[in-house]
Structures are given as structure tokens and as C-alpha cells.
């Protein structure tokens, strides 16, 4: 019973997606850095640019975003007038998008380094850098990534190592340092990380975190090394053991070319050719096919599906236990369950998720998927246990008693009599909560899990197309939720009492017919009575 | 087959059952009657351990069921119970209700359970309703399915806990018919009921319970025709009454009359019978408070705590009486001296079969029995 509805919607949304977003209406011209003082400035959360803009331009409006590509998208959409970012990243952006320009005035110089938790590892890395520099290999690598980051190939990471694993964290959004291409981590930092790990006979484990969370992750022991084109500053050095600099860079201010003072040739920003269909095709190709981005989407979909199903499963079992405690005759378990439910329902899921990742599970090396699954299971259980309770309490108590009087044990009466009715009653609300859970998993990107939403973030970070990846992911969530609803509906139908579809004539007959029936009963007497 | 000795049960500080001693033999039909809240249902629920007794002993077929290690499930399988509120399993059809126990507990094959279930539904007259869910059945039909569900376990005894109390009056007879049928077939039954005529017809023995003890027991004829003890007699004859207290002559006349009317309707009085009760009460109070030395009488009534009025109806005797009690210092409730309103006196004497005034235990008591309507 496939309804065509979602596919029509998909088509309509794709059509909408292909109409590109309109540029800012207000025209702002810029030529020097000082003009930024009352402008809208986009920066990366927790970056040196953020600090610079805040202190240098107190009158400016600062937009703090999580990834560099988000900055580019914000600039193009007219959300801000100027964005600050690493000169290399900016240069590559400009190469890909002729609509962007750079202020001639350099903002400031940046020394990039790797961050370490352990000084001994840091020292080894410095030795590694020195050797690489001495052989001229470091220069070759820098050039390779600077010039042609889109085409440069990343070597395979070492798959085995005698000395265990080395965990790297990156925001994976900054070309040419660390980014994702064809579903793989790539970039200068990543190649350095792989080479270093290989030299140490260790297996590199790379995970993605928002730029602003990198230092916190290092401090809380979630990772051993952070590498994401990080600028070495005195303030950061208090929390991070920085390596020597491996790359000398600078910060640039990017603006839209048409806003540059003096005016650039407008012809550079070529309007995309073709009708909407052609543009939709191009968007599709860019966001899905190019660099095998469908792998990212497929991987994200799997993670979202896995976390949803596992946490619903675990959460349901936990909900049963909490419900049992909540309905206990003894005070202690009842109070514990009540506190649990109130507490979990009162904490935002994002906060809970981050607490679990950075505080509770900080000392343990567990995967983000596991932490996410546990967190959502805990949260799911708090809500669902109350649903269970109301469903169980809605089954008339007399039925349990009748079951016990018939000879069932308490558990037997619950399983055979209360459960089937409670399940039937709880399913409609449970379904809603489950869908809510699927959508809630979109926040796992906060703890370095690459789910569907994160996949779209990564794609956006490469294509600078805000609309298509978001709409595509919205549609995918919708379809996923819809399919899972169908599944639960099938269960609901399966557990429903088999009622005849037609109303049996006289099914609700009043007592008036009873005397006839009683006589009918007596006519059967010869067949033998109750004993 | 059931022997109960010194059974007691308390809920918190309330002692519901005090000292119950009773024997039930095979094939007996025992009715338990008595005022509400005297522990009849609790006693029944103690027998199959739905309530754990606080003291005493119970033997079923010679087995002490309060001994540790008793398999309560196995015990309950031999004792069916029919509840006031039917308690059918809402998610199962009538047939499902009567086959669940045999299949799950007696481990019968489904075919056998279904065959037997159909037989039992036919026995209670519901062969045509086997596919119906409880919410598609009337109360009487549900209770008959509940009885069939009990029978499906082949019990040795069935306990009925007010099986018709939750039913519409029109459905009572269909359920009682089925129970009569079981009694006639020689099934051992213990029935808590308020259906006096039914109890009288069907019981081999009647237990009258009051205040947590078996106050009187005997054959149906003994209890219903010659009750020996006061409370039994009061219960049998004046099965229900309406009490009303008047502090002085400023009582709420309309409230009193509406209560009398509601009371009459509840017991299916005719309109004329209700009007008669109201008239007699009104004239009696008039004669008491408005005639003769009215001012002095009113003062006496007010100072001695007022009047208490009881309208009592005996279903058994189909007899309505009105009892007015005042302090003995009033001497008579009705003021019948020469000055009194002749018309009021005429009405009272015309509508009553007997009028009796007496002074007892410091009270002046007027008892009037109304003529049968």
C-alpha cells in the first residue's frame, strides 16, 4: 500500500530547492578592514577570528557559526556582510565560487599547530615535524594541499599498529586542512596525522566535532590530538599542548565581489544556465553524485536508523523497568522512578547528550553512537514509562482479579490479560514518541557522530549549497519516519482483537431477548451441565 | 468440603471479619445475606485467598490452605468466582473468555477448550454470541459469560459475589435463572446476594452476617419465616429505611418530601402509595407540633434534641411503616386531645392499618403501619 503522497512532496520540494536563494537587497561596499566596525561579521565559534572581531570591532554584529562552509553560505545568503576565515580556506572558496572576493588588507597572521593532551606525544610529533621539514617533504605536502586540494589524494591510513590507537578530532570543514571527500577524511592535517600515526606504529582514529568543541574534547579526554587548522594562541596554550607550527597562514576577510568598493565585473558571477530542471539536476549532481556524496548520505541514514532503533529498543525495556518501579507498592522504588522521570523530562536532550559525552562517559573510550543510543534510550524511557503506566492503569483492575481468581499467577494475569490490552492502548502514543525520537537523533552531530543531519552539514561544507542538502535530508527524515510508522501500524493491526468488520446483527441487543436465550440454554440441558 | 474456623480479617485498624465459623458440604447452596459493609464479600474473597485472612483456619477438602507453601493458583482453579462487575477480559470474545483458562492453565488442547467453551456458552444461553466482545454484550449477558468462564475450569465450588447488584433490574432474572440451573444440577455454590426471594428459593442454607460475624444461620425457611434474633428480623422485614432528623418545627418540609418521594421510587411504590406516605408524615408532624399546647410541645421538642423520623419498607412483607421517636417527656408524639384537628386525625387513621404509641428506654415511640396499597 505505497501511497504516492511522499513522492509528490519530494518532487515539489526539489523544484523549490532548485530556485536559488535571493541575494541581499541592501548594498554594502567595503574596501578596508576599518569599515567592518559596524558591519555584520561572520566567524567560526571559538576561533581566533571570533576573538579578533569581538575585541577589535565592539560595535559590529558578530554571527557565530559552527563550520566554515556555513559562513560562506551565510555570506552568500546576505546574512552577514563579511566573514573571517583562514586565508587558504578562503582562497579555495574563492576559486570555487567567483562571486566571492577578499579584502586586500590581511586581517592577521596565524601560526597553525596540532593540539595534544599528552606532552610526550606532542614531543614525538615535533620530532616528526622536524624530520619532515628537514627532508623537504613538509613543503611538498603544503604545496600539494594548497594548490589542488580538490584533486589531491589522501594516502590510506595505517590499518594496523602495535601500539594501539591514536584518537584525532577535527571539525573536518576546512579546506585544505581537514575535510571530507568521497566519504573519507582528507586534507593536509589528516595526511600529517596518518603519517605520524604510522611512524608511531599506531592506528589513527579520526572523529568529527564542531570546531568550538575541539578543545573541550581534548581537555575532557575524549580525544588525544586535535587538528583542524588550529591557530596557536597563548590563551589556548593554557589548555592545549601545542606542537610547533606546521603551517604559516593568515586570516582573510571575505566579502561578496559585488559589494567590494570600486565594483568588480559582475560577469564573474555567472547566473546558472538552463531551466529549473537543469538546475535541479545540477544541484542533485553536486550534492549527491560528485565525490560519491551518496556514501555520506547512506552512511548517515544508517547511523540515524541504528541509533533510533537501538535506543527505542533499549528505551522500551528500560521504560518497562521504570514503569514497574513507578507502580511498585514500596516507597523507595516509586520515588526513584519518579525522580528519574521528572529529571530526564526536565533536561534538554542536547544538554543531556553533551553531559553524557563530555562528563559521564568522558573517562571511558566509548563510541559516540553508543553514548547517543544510551542517552536517547534514557530519555525515551522517561516518557514511555509514563505512557505504559497510564495504559496499564486504564485496564480495569477487576480483570486482573478475575484472572487471578481463575488460577493465573500475578505475572500470568499481567501477561495474558493486562498486557494485550495495554499494548493496544499505548501504541498510538508510543508511535508518536518514536517518531519524535527519530527526529531527535538529529542532534548527535554535537558529539561527533555522523548521522543524516551531520552528513548534510558535511555536504553543505563542500558545495556551499544550503538549500538542496537540507531539503533532501528533511525529505529523508520524513520518509524514514513514515516507513517506521507503517511498521508500527502493522504491529498495531497485528495485536488488535479480531473484530468482525461488519456489525453483527443484534450484537448490542438489550436484555429483552434474554428470556428466549435462557430457554434456548435450557433446551441444551441434556448435553450436560457444569459438572 | 469447606471448613472455616475462627476466621478474622482486618484492614489496618478496621476489623471487618471477627470470628467466622462455617462448614460448607458438597452440593450445598449457601446464601450469605446481611447489611452492606458487614464483610460478606471479604469473607468470600478470603476463601480463595484473594484476601489474606488475618487469623483463623480454612480447610478445603481437608487441606489447610493457610499453611505455608499452599499453591494458591491450584486452589483457585478448583474454586470459581463470579464478580459483581463481571470482569470479563475486554480483549477477548465470549469464546476467548471461556477458553483462556482451560488452554493456559489446564493445558487443554485448543480444540477441546473450544468445544467445551461452546457447550458452556450454550448452557448459559449465549451460543449465538461466541464471537461478541464484552462491550457488545448487555450486563446480563456479560455476567452469564462470566459464569461460563468459571465453569470452564470445572470448579468444585463457585463463589458468587453479589452477581446481580450491578445489573439493570430487567437483566437480573436471566442471571438468576442460570444460577438456579447450576443449583438444580447439584453444584456447590456460595452466594452473597441482596436478592431475598432468590436466596429463599435456591438456598439449602442461609447465613445472616452482621458486624463481622455470622449472626444467625439456618434453613431458608428458618431465616426468612422465623428469624430468631433481633437484627435478623429487622433486616428481613425492614429491609430498607429512610431516616430523617428534625431539630424543631422549622424543618425543611420540601427536602423531607423529596426524600420520601425518592425513597418510594427506589422501591417501586405506586404514585398513590408515595402520596399516602407523604400525607401521613405531614399530618403526623402537624399533630405533633401544631396542635394542643403547641408552644410548650415545640419547646420540649427543641430542648430534647428534636424528632427522629424513619420510613421503613419491608420488601418481604411488602409493608411500609412510619416510626417517629421523641424524648419521653413529650409523652405522646401525636397530640390527639379534643382540641386537635379532626381532619388530620381522620387522615392518619384512614391511611394506616395500625397506630401504636409506647414509651421505651426514655423515648416516646410512635409506630404506624400503612395500609397495603
CATH number of A159's domain: 3.40.190.10
- Domain for residue A7, yes or no? no
A330 in the same domain as A437:
yes
pTM above 0.90, yes or no: no
Element (H, E) at A36: none
Same domain, A315 and A407: yes
Domain range for A427:
294-494
Averaged pLDDT, B278-302: 86
pLDDT, one tens digit per residue, over A116-141 is: 988 899 999 999 999 988 998 888 88
**B 159-198 residues inside an 8 A Cβ radius of A:** 168, 170-171, 173-174, 177-178, 181-182, 185-187
CB half-sphere exposure, B46, CA atoms < 13 A: 31
Q: Is the confidence at residue A97, as pLDDT, over 90? A: no
Q: What is the pLDDT of residue B119?
A: 94
Residues A173 and A57 both lie in one domain: no
Same domain, A83 and A129: no
Distances (CA, A) of A180 to A3, A204, A221, B55: 36, 16, 24, 78
Pseudo-torsion of CA A186, A187, A189, A194, nearest 10°? 40
A430 falls within a domain: yes
A457 inside domain: yes
Write the DSSP assignment of B31-82 as a string of letters.
Answer: EEE--TTSSHHHHHHHHTTSS--SEEEEEETTEETTSTT--HHHHHHTEEEE
State whether A97 and A135 are in the same domain: no
Chain B residues touching A531 at Cβ < 8 A? 154, 185-187
Answer with the one of A43, A75, A108 that is the final residue of a domain: A108
A407 Cα to chain B: minimum distance (Å): 4
The burial class, CB within 10 Å (0-12 / 13-18 / 19+), for A59 is exposed
How many domains does chain A contain in total?
3
- Cell output for B29: 447452596
- Same domain for A98 and A178, yes or no, is no
Asked if residue A461 belongs to a domain, the reply is yes
Looking at B267-355, list the stretches that DSSP marks H as alpha helix, in order from N- to C-terminal side: 271-289, 294-303, 342-351
Are B187 and A421 within 8 A, CB to CB?
no
In a domain, A215, yes or no: yes
Q: What is the pLDDT of residue B239?
A: 60
The verdict on A94 and A124 lying in the same domain is no
pLDDT at A11: 55
Candidates B190, B238, B144; CA nearest to B48 is B190
Same domain, residue pair A428 and A371: yes
Q: Which of residues 74-113 of B touch A (CB under 8 A)?
A: 74, 76-77, 79-81, 83, 85-93, 100-101, 104-105
Same domain, A99 and A159: no
- Residue pLDDT, tens place only, A460-495: 777 767 788 889 999 999 999 999 888 888 877 777
Q: Indicate whether A103 and A165 sit together in one domain.
A: no
Of A108, A123, A147, the last residue of a domain is: A108
Asked if residue A449 lies in contact with residue A307, where contact means CB atoms within 8 angstroms, the answer is yes
Name the residue among B76, B100, B120 with its Cβ closest to that of A416: B100
Which one has a higher pLDDT value, A99 or A409? Answer: A409
Last-in-domain residue among A181, A214, A243: A243
Query: CA-to-CA distance for A116 and A239, rounded, in angstroms?
Result: 9
B141/A514 CB distance under 8 A: yes
pLDDT digits (tens, 9 = 90+) for A228-287: 888 888 888 888 899 998 988 888 888 888 777 654 433 344 455 567 788 788 888 888
In a domain, A507, yes or no: no
Q: Are residues A150 and A76 in the same domain?
A: no
User: Do B205 and B28 meet the contact criterion of CB atoms below 8 Å apart?
Assistant: yes
Let me know if residue A263 belongs to a domain. Answer: no
Q: Which of A251, A350, A254 is nearest to A47 (CA)?
A: A251
Question: What is the number of CB-based contacts under 8 A between chain A and chain B?
Answer: 146
**Mutation for testing the A interface, residue in B89, B143, B174 having most A CBs under 10 Å:** B89
Structural domain includes residue A139: yes
Would you say B99 and B152 are in contact if contact means Cβ atoms under 8 Å apart? yes
CB atoms within 10 A of CB A260: 17
Do A335 and A370 sit in the same domain of this protein?
yes
**Looking at chain B from residue 247 to 306, which residues have their Cβ under 8 Å from any Cβ of chain A?**
none
| Statement: residue B31 has pLDDT above 60 | yes
CATH number, position A437:
1.10.3720.10
Is the ipTM beyond the 0.95 threshold? no
Lowest mean pLDDT among A223-232, A330-339, B314-323: B314-323
Amino acid at each position: 500500500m505505497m501511497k504516492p503522497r511522499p513522492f509528490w512532496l519530494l518532487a515539489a520540494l526539489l523544484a523549490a530547492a532548485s530556485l536559488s536563494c535571493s541575494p541581499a537587497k541592501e548594498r554594502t561596499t567595503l574596501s578596508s578592514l576599518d569599515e567592518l566596525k559596524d558591519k555584520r561579521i561572520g566567524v567560526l565559534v571559538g576561533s581566533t577570528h571570533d576573538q579578533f572581531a569581538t575585541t577589535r570591532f565592539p560595535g559590529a554584529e558578530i554571527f557565530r557559526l559552527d563550520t566554515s562552509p556555513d559562513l560562506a553560505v551565510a555570506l552568500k545568503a546576505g546574512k552577514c556582510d563579511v566573514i573571517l576565515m583562514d586565508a587558504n580556506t578562503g582562497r579555495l572558496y574563492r576559486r570555487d565560487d567567483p562571486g566571492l572576493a577578499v579584502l586586500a588588507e590581511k586581517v592577521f597572521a596565524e601560526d597553525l599547530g596540532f593540539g595534544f593532551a599528552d606532552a610526550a606525544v606532542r614531543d614525538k610529533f615535533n620530532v616528526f615535524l622536524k624530520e619532515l621539514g628537514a627532508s623537504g617533504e613538509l613543503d611538498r605536502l603544503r604545496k600539494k594541499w594548497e594548490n589542488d586540494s580538490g584533486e589531491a589524494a589522501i594516502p590510506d591510513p595505517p590499518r594496523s599498529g602495535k601500539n594501539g590507537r591514536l584518537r584525532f578530532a577535527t571539525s573536518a570543514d576546512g579546506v585544505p586542512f581537514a575535510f571530507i571527500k568521497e566519504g573519507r577524511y582528507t586534507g593536509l592535517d589528516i595526511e600529517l596525522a596518518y603519517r605520524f600515526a604510522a611512524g608511531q606504529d599506531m592506528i589513527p582514529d579520526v572523529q568529527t566535532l564542531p570546531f568550538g568543541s575541539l578543545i573541550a574534547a581534548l581537555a575532557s579526554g575524549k580525544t588525544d590530538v586535535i587538528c583542524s587548522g588550529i591557530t596557536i594562541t597563548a590563551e589556548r596554550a593554557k589548555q592545549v599542548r601545542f606542537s610547533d607550527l606546521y603551517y604559516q597562514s593568515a586570516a582573510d576577510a571575505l566579502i561578496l565581489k559585488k559589494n567590494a568598493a570600486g565594483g568588480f565585473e559582475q560577469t564573474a558571477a555567472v547566473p546558472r544556465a538552463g531551466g529549473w530542471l537543469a538546475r535541479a539536476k545540477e544541484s542533485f549532481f553536486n550534492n549527491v553524485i560528485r565525490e560519491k556524496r551518496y556514501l555520506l548520505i547512506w552512511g548517515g541514514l544508517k547511523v540515524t536508523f541504528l541509533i533510533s532503533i537501538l535506543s527505542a529498543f533499549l528505551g522500551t525495556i528500560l521504560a518497562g523497568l521504570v514503569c514497574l518501579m513507578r507502580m511498585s507498592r514500596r516507597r523507595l522504588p516509586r520515588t526513584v522512578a519518579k525522580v528519574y522521570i521528572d529529571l530526564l523530562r526536565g533536561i534538554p536532550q542536547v544538554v543531556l547528550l553533551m553531559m553524557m559525552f563530555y562528563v559521564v562517559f568522558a573517562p571511558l573510550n566509548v563510541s559516540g553512537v553508543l553514548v547517543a543510543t544510551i542517552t536517547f534510550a534514557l530519555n525515551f524511557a522517561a516518557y514511555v514509562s509514563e505512557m505504559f503506566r497510564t495504559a496499564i492503569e486504564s485496564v480495569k483492575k477487576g480483570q486482573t482479579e478475575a484472572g487471578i481468581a481463575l488460577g493465573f499467577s500475578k505475572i500470568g494475569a499481567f501477561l495474558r490479560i493486562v498486557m494485550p490490552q495495554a499494548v493496544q492502548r499505548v501504541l498510538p502514543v508510543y508511535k508518536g514518541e518514536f517518531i519524535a525520537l527519530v527526529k531527535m537523533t538529529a542532534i548527535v552531530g554535537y558529539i561527533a557522530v555522523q548521522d543524516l543531519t551531520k552528513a548534510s552539514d558535511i555536504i553543505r561544507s563542500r558545495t556551499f549549497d544550503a538549500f538542496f542538502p537540507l531539503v533532501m535530508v528533511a525529505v529523508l527524515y520524513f520518509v524514514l519516519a513514515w516507513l517506521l510508522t507503517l511498521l508500527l501500524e502493522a504491529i498495531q493491526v497485528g495485536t488488535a482483537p479480531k473484530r468482525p468488520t461488519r456489525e453483527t446483527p443484534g450484537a448490542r441487543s438489550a436484555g429483552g431477548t434474554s428470556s428466549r436465550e435462557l430457554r434456548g440454554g435450557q433446551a441444551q440441558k441434556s448435553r450436560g451441565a457444569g459438572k | 468440603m469447606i471448613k472455616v474456623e475462627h476466621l478474622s480479617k482486618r484492614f489496618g485498624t478496621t476489623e471487618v471479619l471477627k470470628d467466622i465459623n462455617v462448614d460448607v458440604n458438597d452440593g450445598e447452596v449457601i446464601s450469605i445475606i446481611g447489611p452492606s459493609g458487614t464483610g460478606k464479600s471479604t469473607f468470600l474473597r478470603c476463601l480463595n485467598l484473594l484476601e489474606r485472612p488475618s487469623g483463623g483456619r480454612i480447610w478445603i477438602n481437608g487441606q489447610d490452605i493457610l499453611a505455608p507453601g499452599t499453591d494458591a493458583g491450584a486452589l483457585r482453579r478448583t474454586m470459581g468466582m463470579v464478580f459483581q462487575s463481571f470482569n470479563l477480559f475486554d480483549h477477548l470474545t465470549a469464546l476467548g473468555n471461556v477458553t483462556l483458562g482451560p488452554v493456559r492453565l489446564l493445558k487443554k488442547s485448543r480444540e477441546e477448550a473450544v468445544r467445551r467453551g461452546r457447550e458452556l456458552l450454550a448452557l448459559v444461553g449465549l451460543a449465538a454470541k461466541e464471537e461478541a466482545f464484552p462491550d457488545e454484550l448487555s450486563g446480563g449477558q456479560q455476567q452469564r459469560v462470566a459464569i461460563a468462564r468459571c465453569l470452564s475450569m470445572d470448579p468444585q465450588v463457585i463463589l458468587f459475589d453479589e452477581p446481580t447488584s450491578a445489573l439493570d433490574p430487567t437483566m437480573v432474572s436471566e442471571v438468576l435463572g442460570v444460577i438456579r440451573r447450576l443449583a438444580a444440577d447439584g453444584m456447590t455454590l456460595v452466594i452473597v446476594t441482596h436478592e431475598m426471594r432468590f436466596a429463599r428459593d435456591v438456598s439449602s442454607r442461609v447465613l445472616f452476617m452482621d458486624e463481622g460475624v455470622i449472626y444467625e444461620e439456618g434453613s431458608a425457611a428458618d431465616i426468612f419465616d422465623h428469624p430468631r434474633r433481633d437484627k435478623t428480623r429487622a433486616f428481613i422485614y425492614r429491609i430498607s429505611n429512610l431516616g430523617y432528623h428534625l431539630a424543631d418545627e422549622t424543618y425543611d418540609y420540601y427536602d423531607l418530601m423529596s426524600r420520601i418521594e425518592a425513597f418510594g421510587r427506589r422501591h417501586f411504590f405506586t404514585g398513590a402509595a408515595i402520596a399516602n406516605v407523604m400525607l401521613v408524615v405531614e399530618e403526623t408532624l402537624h399533630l405533633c407540633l401544631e396542635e394542643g399546647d403547641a408552644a410548650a410541645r415545640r419547646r420540649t421538642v427543641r430542648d430534647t434534641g428534636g424528632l427522629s423520623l424513619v420510613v421503613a419498607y419491608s420488601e418481604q412483607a411488602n409493608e411500609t411503616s412510619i416510626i417517629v421517636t421523641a424524648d419521653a417527656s413529650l409523652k405522646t408524639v401525636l397530640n390527639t386531645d379534643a382540641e386537635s384537628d379532626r381532619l388530620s386525625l381522620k387522615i392518619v387513621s384512614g391511611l394506616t392499618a395500625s397506630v401504636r404509641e409506647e414509651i421505651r428506654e426514655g423515648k416516646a415511640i410512635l409506630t404506624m403501619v400503612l395500609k397495603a396499597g
